[in-house]
Copies of this chain bind each other. A is one copy, B any other.
Amino acid sequence: MKISRQHLDEYEQRYRANLINSLSGFKSANLVGTCNSEGATNLAIVSSVVHVGANPPLVGMIMRPNSVPRHTLENIKATGFYTINQVSDKLWQAAHQTSARYPREVSEFDAVGLTVENLADFTAPYVAEATLKYGLALREVIKLDLNDTEFVLGEITEIHLPAEHIAADGYVDIEAMKAVAVSGLDSYHITKRLDRLPYAKTE
């Protein structure tokens, strides 16, 4: 079937949100850990984390200032640091629960039963239960005037993961770590590898 733009605009809001959120394909599932200037922790699931570049190592994410992760964005701007913690098949239900609208004084770590882990002297809190996680320094926040969201760009400063999941060529086997993928707003998936393909050449 064809859905015209006019039909799309006439859909009920939640129906349209479910549909449009499904179109980009599978999304990453990550928990973003932050603290405010007093050290109070915050944790939010984000499905918009996207690779931006390897050198320097840059990661982006789309944040909606008026939706649930607003405390996260405030903390990132206040401290300049945050962690990204990969959501696995052990964590997906607790991770999803962080999207509830907890009041500012509640730490989602406590509310959903995940453990704050402070590694080395990194400012922001990690999720102890996450197998792959890394720390980032905020580099830029770009306001998207098209819909008042913000594109948050961070530079990776340290990475924590089990050495046995790094292949000889640097590829990290996130499937072996049971990372989950998201579709739409609320569907979680495990994966099965088809294959890795060689670098494509024209001949």
| Stretch binding the partner chain, chosen from A22-30, A35-43, A72-80 | A22-30
**A127 on the B face (CB < 8 A):** no
B201 and A55: CB pair below 8 A?
no
Measured in the bound complex, the distance between the Cα atoms of B57 and A95 in whole Å is 26
Which residues between 164 and 202 of chain A lie within 8 Å of chain B, taking CB atoms?
A: 166-167, 169-175, 179-181, 183-202
Identical copies of this chain, number: 2
**A71 on the B face (CB < 8 A):** no
Task: Given A28-B24, A54-B20, verify A162-B1 contact (CB < 8 Å).
Answer: yes
Residues on A lying within 8 angstroms of B by beta carbon are 1-5, 8-9, 11, 13-30, 47-60, 62, 64, 84, 86-87, 89, 92-93, 96-102, 111, 119-120, 132, 134, 139-140, 142, 144-147, 149, 151, 153, 155-163, 166-167, 169-175, 179-181, 183-202
